[in-house]
Homo-oligomer: A and B are copies of this chain.
Amino acid sequence: MKRKIQSKPIGIFDSGVGGLTVLNEVVKHLPNENIIYFGDTARVPYGSKSVETIKKFAIQDSKFLISMKVKMIVVACNTVSSNAMNILHESFDIPFVDVLLPNAMYASQITRKKRIGVIGTAATIESGAYSKIINKFNKTHKVFSLATPLLVPLAEEGLIDNKATNIILEDYLSNLKEYDIDTLILGCTHYPLFEKRIKEIVGKDIQVVNSARQTARTVKSMLEDMGILNLENKKGDVRFYLSDIPRNFRKIAQRFLKQNTTGKVLKINIENF
């Protein structure tokens, strides 16, 4: 029985392509695992939509992955992780890993000043999820949050090393200056694309935490603890499912998928789930 569960794939979903930064790290940490990635590219972005709609979409995304017989679901989207984890846990009997908890805990541990900044989509920031989770375990930590919604379209258009993007980044980050933080959480899976420039702007005294690495570590240790790691000695299979094949999908995917992760890309109708 256990043998069978072990070889089942890990499901990863995101509103679109941002979660590919999480997929990268999961493949790096767990090269033997089979993975099914779902990106809701027909309805992307989630970050500007209402909580009710985000919950509905998150349930449909999970139902699709469960129909694919996954052994675990990684919610590789900060917007869903901030707004819909309760309803997902209530609705389904499958282990979930979200991107919020691992990063909130990690940032809580590495801050010396106990002052943490978070940037993310409007939905992530307005949920207050990062400060709630950090303060649950560390009552004296201060969390300063800032919505930076334009970074998603800028990343998808490939305006990474760009004068206008620089101005927008500097404008956004200048709002955090007065808070004297020493740790900054990149609370959106798109933001690692700007990590280098963000580090330059905030300077060496602020540690930048991105969603992907800690999440992958959590996936690995949960699979170990549950005894359902895939121990087969061969490279895992990665399959991509999207609700739309956007016109520039290959170009965008290349930007996010640093490693040589290839796999079939199939389209599904998410509204049927």
Contact = CB atoms under 8 A, between A and B. Distances in A.
A122 B48 CA distance: 21
A127 to B, nearest CB: 10
| Chain B CB within 10 Å, residue with most, of A41, A244, A245 | A244
A246 interface: yes
A224 interface: no
This chain's copy number in the assembly: 2
Contacts of A248: 48, 122
A241 to B, nearest CB: 15
Interface residues of A, number: 32
A91 interface: no
Contacts of A149: 153, 157
Contact of A163 (B49, B154, B159, B167): B167
A123 interface: yes
B244 A53 contact: yes
A171 interface: yes
Contacts of A154: 150
30 contacts: A41-B49, A42-B43, A42-B49, A42-B53, A43-B43, A48-B156, A48-B246, A48-B247, A49-B246, A49-B247, A50-B244, A50-B245, A50-B246, A50-B247, A52-B244, A53-B243, A53-B244, A122-B247, A122-B248, A126-B247, A149-B153, A149-B157, A150-B154, A150-B157, A150-B159, A152-B153, A153-B153, A163-B167, A164-B167, A271-B271
